[in-house]
Structure 1
Amino acid sequence: MFLFRRCSIRVITSSRRSTPVQAARLYSAERLEKYDAPVSADDDFSNVRREEFKSLRIAILGLPNAGKSTLINQLIHHQVCASSMRKHTTRMACRAVLHTDTTELVFVDTPGVVTTQEVKRHNLESSFQSDPEVALKQVDVVGVLHDVSRSRLRQEILPEVLNLLKTLDSDTPTLLLMNKVDQIKNKRRLLEFVNHLTGENGWQNFADIFMLSALNGDGVSDLREYLLVSAKPRDWDYEKDTLTDQKPEEMIIRIVRASLLDVLPAEIPYNLNIQMEYYNVCEDGSINTFVLIECPSERLYKLILRKLKSKLRYMAEKVEQTLSKNLQQTVRVRLVFQPKRVT
């Protein structure tokens, strides 16, 4: 786990604005001075309580399969963002929420940044291009997750990402989140990567740089603490127990799709049509659901059954465990495969 603070870069820039962390510390100090004053019996304590609440909205931006969903799940201690080892798992933006006693962090998990050509080639939804743009306009901080394990791209921020960063307001802080650093044996090389990513051909406005391994959790607690300290005094967007803005049905579909991406080869899982056929909340709060997975052909249907015969029960159990933890209720999932219906 590593954390780089680019203090020297801040000194030589013309801006004299304090960083989010400095602003948060200054705010805390001012509040301590405020409470040195005598308390009157007529004081409105409800307003004081509201003022103590803080929140921060963070967008995580990056290329497909950089580890955005995995990082957010680690940050909030729940697997609410569907994640897999394959690209294009996240197909539209969703929000994941972490609450402490006084602070709310709202993370926006965005689809991987792609080109217009990739959208056409892979028949991707328009959300792959629209959702990152919309998310950047709604947040306080933007984290650029960069996968340093990809040898061809580890020293380069692609133009598609840079173009999105250029649309930000000048006062929106950006963080460079270098992921999968555990796969780099020579740690000195990480400094070389930093110089390239923040140089003339990179993004020179990063406020801070974090070295992470989202999968292993290395460096995640430092990033979480940094964001908590950077939160702004304001009311929360969500209730205390909220983990995500996704409906349970949406979460079930996304997690089933991610599970299929991990167990099926090549392009097969991308061609499946996953539908919620039945969803019911029982009197005890538990959930029964029936997920229909439609295969585009009879041949593919038989191939999938052969591939999944030994894995289907394990996959369903894993999906149930994840959903039960997220929804804090018992969830029973039945996965049914069938060839595409002929109309």
Structure 2
Amino acid sequence: MESDEVLNKEKDFKSGFITVLGQPNVGKSTLINYLIGQKIAITTPKKQTTRNKLQCILTRDDAQLIFIDTPGVHRPKDKMSEYMVDTAYKALKKVELIYFMVDAQKGITELERKINNQLSGLETPKIIVLNKIDLVSKNKLKNLIESCQRLGDYDEIIPVSAEKGQNTEALIEKSIEFLPSGPKYYPEDMVTDQIEQFIITELIREKIMYLTREEVPHSVALEVVQMGKRENQDLIDVNVNIYVERDSQKGIIIGKGGKRLKEIGRRAREDIEALLGSQIYLDLWVKVRKNWRDKEDALKMLGYRG
């Protein structure tokens, strides 16, 4: 009798992969962080914050949802941005559900229409997620929903506020309806498939994006050179290289008397210690690797090519 109950429970359990797609700054990472209840994907007000595909996992008693955070779809200017757009569209394959996120403040732009064209031929269930509804009037939202209905064959249109968590539970419940019965792909306590080193570099890059301006944040790549626990101490040493494309950018990141680099380290250390559950000694070095965004060998070395 007990084994029958276990079998029925397994049959009722649903699981699947959900790609979250949209142009830069629509709130993809903010939404995913809210849904899983933990900060894994970095968020900044700057465009093109997310560079890699990132899987984040929400496990409930009845389902496991694996969200795939993707780089914002934009018009590529170099090999790096070509890689980012390619990564976003490749994430549409072999998934159970697609979220097409739209910024309710901006509405349907030319870029949304291009993304819509990429989605139109797919048989995968699709939900338009209208984000930032806390920032628009009810009348504007009503008109936007009507515009979305004219876009194409979408299974649902769900308005949310990722920042406030508004209507996110409804989004989860509706998403589970589209998922098939399936296994628990990841352990219950796992919230991402990425290794700690990747998340560490992302957290540092987030601080750089907040503390620098114009082209500097997008010219930055990071590499964990060494990471290990000190003997007989509750302390982890983390050595990280920060790569930029020009000497002037190196000077901007270091700042006068090293002030900006210290502030980047201070802010990043807080998040990394929360991630690792331990004190860390963070050692940051800034190095120049000229025009790395347009060089295949550099992109491979920094993990942006297979």
| TM-score calculated relative to the size of structure 1 | 0.74
Cross-structure match for 1:56: 16
Change over 3 Å in CA distance of 1:158–1:230 after alignment to 2:
closer
Once residues 95 and 341 of structure 1 are traced to their aligned partners in structure 2, the CA distance between those partners, rounded to angstroms, is: 29
Cross-structure match for 1:260: 208
| Unmatched tracts of structure 2, length 5 or more | 291-306
Shift of 1:317: 4.1
User: Structure 2: which amino acid aligns with 1:303?
Assistant: I
Cross-structure match for 1:289: 238
Which of 120, 134, 154 is the equivalent residue of 1:206?
Answer: 154
Once residues 216 and 186 of structure 2 are traced to their aligned partners in structure 1, the CA distance between those partners, rounded to angstroms, is: 37
Once residues 226 and 94 of structure 1 are traced to their aligned partners in structure 2, the CA distance between those partners, rounded to angstroms, is: 22
How many residue pairs were aligned? 289
1:1-343 superposed matches below 5 A: 39=1, 47-114=7-74, 118-119=75-76, 121-150=77-106, 153-154=107-108, 158-169=112-123, 172-184=124-136, 186-199=137-150, 202-203=151-152, 205-281=153-229, 287-306=236-255, 312-327=261-276, 329-330=277-278, 332=280, 334-340=282-288
Shift of 1:71: 0.6
Change over 3 Å in CA distance of 1:239–1:127 after alignment to 2:
farther
SS in 2 for 1:136: coil
Question: 1:259-298: CA deviations, max 9, x gaps?
Answer: 2112110001112232212111467886431112234344
Once residues 335 and 87 of structure 1 are traced to their aligned partners in structure 2, the CA distance between those partners, rounded to angstroms, is: 27
Shift of 1:239: 1.5
Once residues 90 and 157 of structure 2 are traced to their aligned partners in structure 1, the CA distance between those partners, rounded to angstroms, is: 24
Shift of 1:177: 0.8
Shift of 1:191: 1.1
Once residues 222 and 311 of structure 1 are traced to their aligned partners in structure 2, the CA distance between those partners, rounded to angstroms, is: 42
SS in 2 for 1:124: helix
Give me the CA root mean square deviation: 2.8
Once residues 47 and 256 of structure 1 are traced to their aligned partners in structure 2, the CA distance between those partners, rounded to angstroms, is: 45
User: Structure 2: which amino acid aligns with 1:183?
Assistant: L
User: Structure 1: which amino acid aligns with 2:243?
Assistant: E
Once residues 268 and 131 of structure 1 are traced to their aligned partners in structure 2, the CA distance between those partners, rounded to angstroms, is: 23
Judge conservation of contact 1:295–1:337 (CA < 8 Å) in 2. Answer: no
Judge conservation of contact 1:79–1:322 (CA < 8 Å) in 2. Answer: no
Cross-structure match for 1:6: none
Once residues 324 and 100 of structure 1 are traced to their aligned partners in structure 2, the CA distance between those partners, rounded to angstroms, is: 27
Change over 3 Å in CA distance of 1:191–1:341 after alignment to 2:
closer
Change over 3 Å in CA distance of 1:257–1:48 after alignment to 2:
same
Once residues 43 and 281 of structure 2 are traced to their aligned partners in structure 1, the CA distance between those partners, rounded to angstroms, is: 18
| TM-score calculated relative to the size of structure 2 | 0.82
SS in 1 for 2:91: helix
Shift of 1:166: 2.1
Percent of pairs with identical residues: 25
Once residues 54 and 260 of structure 2 are traced to their aligned partners in structure 1, the CA distance between those partners, rounded to angstroms, is: 28
User: Structure 2: which amino acid aligns with 1:124?
Assistant: M
Question: 1:224-281: CA deviations, max 9, x gaps?
Answer: 2333454432112111211111111111112211221121100011122322121114
Judge conservation of contact 1:276–1:289 (CA < 8 Å) in 2. Answer: yes
Larger mean CA deviation between 267-276 and 72-81 belongs to 267-276
Cross-structure match for 1:14: none
SS in 1 for 2:161: coil
Judge conservation of contact 1:61–1:143 (CA < 8 Å) in 2. Answer: yes
Once residues 108 and 233 of structure 1 are traced to their aligned partners in structure 2, the CA distance between those partners, rounded to angstroms, is: 19
Cross-structure match for 1:31: none
Once residues 145 and 308 of structure 1 are traced to their aligned partners in structure 2, the CA distance between those partners, rounded to angstroms, is: 42
User: Structure 1: which amino acid aligns with 2:90?
Assistant: V
Question: 1:155-213: CA deviations, max 9, x gaps?
Answer: 666343112212412xx2211111112222x32111111212221xx22x222222222
User: Structure 1: which amino acid aligns with 2:138?
Assistant: K
Change over 3 Å in CA distance of 1:262–1:54 after alignment to 2:
same
Shift of 1:104: 0.7
SS in 2 for 1:278: strand
Which fold has the larger relative contact order, with Cα–Cα distance below 8 Å and residues 6 or more apart in sequence? 1
Larger mean CA deviation between 297-306 and 76-85 belongs to 297-306
Cross-structure match for 1:20: none
Cross-structure match for 2:299: none
Shift of 1:216: 2.4
User: Structure 2: which amino acid aligns with 1:70?
Assistant: T
Change over 3 Å in CA distance of 1:337–1:285 after alignment to 2:
closer
SS in 1 for 2:35: helix
